[in-house]
Structure 1
């Protein structure tokens, strides 16, 4: 049976807000009654769940930040007894204690349904062979993606990360038609296939589903050209549930956020709602989570709300591709720079390849940024004059985009590190000095 939920996906705004209000009241009551952290926060803000009379009243409620999850490690934000928890996931904890999230049996069911809805929207159908090249384990992209593809009726290949040559072999031999990975790993797979004498476009993949790291419009073009596919962006975060919070439809123009499961706000630095088309921080409130409902969670992701109805007919509002993360933003000589801005410039230049690395250093008390870029095959001639010309062009384009002087270093193709999971494109050495 094809997976499609028009009752929720095409719901009129008035009906949707009625559903949101009902679910918001339930979530607010749950955390106020069962989570001491939220009871204290609500009391300090002088608000009770009974004060919620409309969806807009979500603004009366306190914010939740990532530090709150760490401060309540491991189970302090759970709203159900531990006997009701069916699964635990956790972040890697590279910047402090892990953030732990829990799921009840119903949470896992809802998550799988939302994921299936996402995949169907992007054109995946029952009977597709779906290869999931994401890390299986505490990372939500493994089991979360897997469950959604199974729920839709796909034959799932749980390939995980690594063994790139084997990944290519499975894609070809198993007739994989839908593929999920980080965009950087997919580019690496394409590169590896070419080295093996296999044209990526000859593989049976028709739909590529990518996420877990920022990627540009030009990266999409490169993926679609390499594999001969349609490449779709996704959005999720473990604090909400994992992947499946939002996804692109076939229009490939913005990410639909499932508003029957989340209330979305885009807020400015003061915590006030942004105007449509104004950049701000995405803030989400869960509406269906039992184990760990979160109220007004500040994601740190910078985006814009999009105006107008989508051609696909779905009424869930859309946000733009992300401009970066508030906590990933680099401050260089007083200017705000997002790595995605650099990627956008580079991926629009045929002279350079898909791989780059930003190195930040402090020299004589001044910030210095060096962008290492791999040359593309079609631009490399070995002539010194050509190298100088490309370096000058890249430097000029970055200056125009960033309003910042950068050092550009062209490096040999294949010399920058490849990653099977999330790529690491920035090395900030300023704090180690």
Structure 2
């Protein structure tokens, strides 16, 4: 059985809380044993925050253990315990640090000591947290115990515990192996026998981090109650309205009391109340660590020259996140954002030999078509897109007209970062998922899991996002998940994305809610509204269909819509010369919108881009 650093951190936090909660004037057996052994301030050597920071740096990601994804190439280092670590108890402070780090890294520990009562008490106090920990025992001083004998030096009282994790002696607790040519996804897929316990450890730690926040404290069980990843279904569903109500700037109930760090992103519809998604520094670093292997899986290679046209500014995440990710990779990036013009693109292709373009189809395709008209010999080797689907017709055009060799997709959200990626062997709207980063469930409207392969609403649990944690968050998308042995070499779960479930319409890089549009049209007497978005000749076409008891003039409806929602008109953040969008209005008498023959319901939002892309 593999043990995980996060479980040791939970055990240390359990003991730390006990020490800090007991006044110095009141008895505390473990504190008394440690102080009598010469550790003047036991809580300073059982500082779970310092241990986390130190282990996170030592492992280059506690949340990625036992692998460390490399950034200059698409493979990993694997970390494993040495087995049995033998500690000679010369100084209690040094022995305590040795025990904690040896256990954190999965080793069995034997303490050779003349004070076995002390170390039995320490081990039992840590085990009282109820999480899985390695074996540990004592032996008489000088006992010929086999194992890795590690000499732990004393640490000055004012030394930083996190920095001690980088010391030379700590490296003797692990063995590292370079898995040449093995990507992070393939390493995890091959680790299928450990998958459930690996994810259970991730989930335990996430639950513990979430319980630091006022909102989650009363909703979630103690982390020790999570013994299997299947226990996730016992946790409550987080609805979007609750996330908005309890997140900044309206509330801080979903945030811990930790020192603020990291980045805050904005999410939500253009006309509604935005959501602000907080990523601590650790959250952001985890996102980047997990994203770099995904970018390699999308076809990015060392030496690529990438035009990044994803949307930026206004606290939107697309450009900001990829800027951080490309900065870690051996690539050259040109972060134009959505303001890229045809002149910009041609300059970068001609002058810098750019060979990759990244962006949303609504901007990319008109940009590339116009560039092709002006430069018939234009070639773009790789196109990576996200935000909305791309039709197979448009993919064929890229391959035929631009000689594009790689067309790949990343599925992501400001709320939870990357949700899935599409390798060259997958088509349509199918994406590999990464349960170690975002665990995706498919449920019915009541939050109950549906059978594998059946369509339902998506819940995401962001396993490595600890500030403003997202547990079983109903993100507003639909799809189905099934197991697939992919030709790319990665076996595991695949998500077939099937569109929005919450009435959101996304185009021009912006989002509008169906309910807001219906409310705006209420003054004209509109009783029913259907909105459909599709593509024609590389442009996004938004069709607004209304039902009303009295005849309506489509021109009046159009004017009201464009006045209320400027993004439906000529307003756009990118090159105004590009023909990227068309609004059409169809006014129908009552009863003329198509109904479901069984339920009589009208589909409020249709996204024909999904249907075309899935063919």
For the superposition of Structure 1 and Structure 2, which TM-score range results when normalised by the shorter chain? Answer: 0.7 to 0.9
Aligned ranges for residues 396-415 of structure 1 at < 5 Å? none
Kept after mapping to 2: 8 A contact 1:128/1:155: yes
Q: Tell me which residue corresponds to 1:356.
A: 541
Q: Displacement of 1:165 after TM fit? A: 2.5
Residue by residue, what CA displacement relative to the aligned partner does 1:4-54 show, whole Å, maximum 9, x if unpaired?
34474122333222111001001111112x111112333xxxx44332221
Q: How many equivalent pairs are there?
A: 367
Kept after mapping to 2: 8 A contact 1:85/1:291: no
**RMSD (Å) for aligned C-alpha atoms:** 3.4
- Residue 358 of structure 1 aligns to a residue whose secondary structure is strand
Q: Tell me which residue corresponds to 2:351.
A: 173
Q: 1:369 to 1:27 in 2, by over 3 A?
A: farther
Greater shift, 225-234 or 298-307, is seen at 225-234
Unaligned runs of 5+ residues in structure 1 are 347-351, 371-414
Q: Tell me which residue corresponds to 2:281.
A: 105
Say whether residues 1:217 and 2:392 are aligned partners. Answer: yes
Partner residue of 2:499 out of 283, 308, 323: 323
Aligned ranges for residues 128-143 of structure 1 at < 5 Å? 128-137=304-313, 138-143=315-320
Kept after mapping to 2: 8 A contact 1:357/1:416: no
Q: Displacement of 1:300 after TM fit? A: 0.9
Say whether residues 1:152 and 2:329 are aligned partners. Answer: yes
Q: Tell me which residue corresponds to 1:67.
A: 241
Unaligned runs of 5+ residues in structure 2 are 1-71, 77-181, 506-513, 519-525, 556-568, 588-615
Q: 1:274 to 1:79 in 2, by over 3 A?
A: same
Q: 1:334 to 1:190 in 2, by over 3 A?
A: same
- Residue 283 of structure 1 aligns to a residue whose secondary structure is strand
Distance 2:552 2:433 in 1: 38
Aligned ranges for residues 22-421 of structure 1 at < 5 Å? 22-32=201-211, 34-42=212-220, 47-74=221-248, 76=252, 78-81=254-257, 83-91=259-267, 94-137=270-313, 138-168=315-345, 169-195=347-373, 197-199=374-376, 202-203=378-379, 205-229=380-404, 230-240=406-416, 242=417, 244-253=418-427, 254-328=430-504, 339=532, 342-343=534-535, 354-364=539-549, 420=574
Kept after mapping to 2: 8 A contact 1:323/1:338: no
Q: Displacement of 1:338 after TM fit? A: 7.8
Q: Displacement of 1:95 after TM fit? A: 4.2
Residue by residue, what CA displacement relative to the aligned partner does 1:86-106 show, whole Å, maximum 9, x if unpaired?
221112652432211222222
| Rg (Cα) greater in structure | 2
Distance 1:325 1:4 in 2: 37
Q: 1:7 to 1:227 in 2, by over 3 A?
A: closer
Q: Tell me which residue corresponds to 1:383.
A: none
Distance 1:161 1:339 in 2: 24
Distance 2:463 2:301 in 1: 27
Q: 1:213 to 1:15 in 2, by over 3 A?
A: same
Residue by residue, what CA displacement relative to the aligned partner does 1:127-165 show, whole Å, maximum 9, x if unpaired?
111111122231111111122222222111111112413
**TM-score, normalised by the number of residues in structure 1:** 0.75
- Residue 147 of structure 1 aligns to a residue whose secondary structure is helix
Distance 2:447 2:340 in 1: 45
Q: Tell me which residue corresponds to 1:412.
A: none
Kept after mapping to 1: 8 A contact 2:529/2:545: no
Q: Displacement of 1:358 after TM fit? A: 0.8
Greater shift, 110-119 or 56-65, is seen at 110-119
Kept after mapping to 2: 8 A contact 1:80/1:290: no
Kept after mapping to 1: 8 A contact 2:301/2:331: yes
Q: Tell me which residue corresponds to 1:392.
A: none
Distance 1:37 1:288 in 2: 18
- Residue 497 of structure 2 aligns to a residue whose secondary structure is coil
Q: Displacement of 1:311 after TM fit? A: 1.4
Kept after mapping to 2: 8 A contact 1:356/1:416: no
Structure with the bigger RCO (C-alpha within 8 Å, sep 6+) is 1
Distance 1:339 1:252 in 2: 26
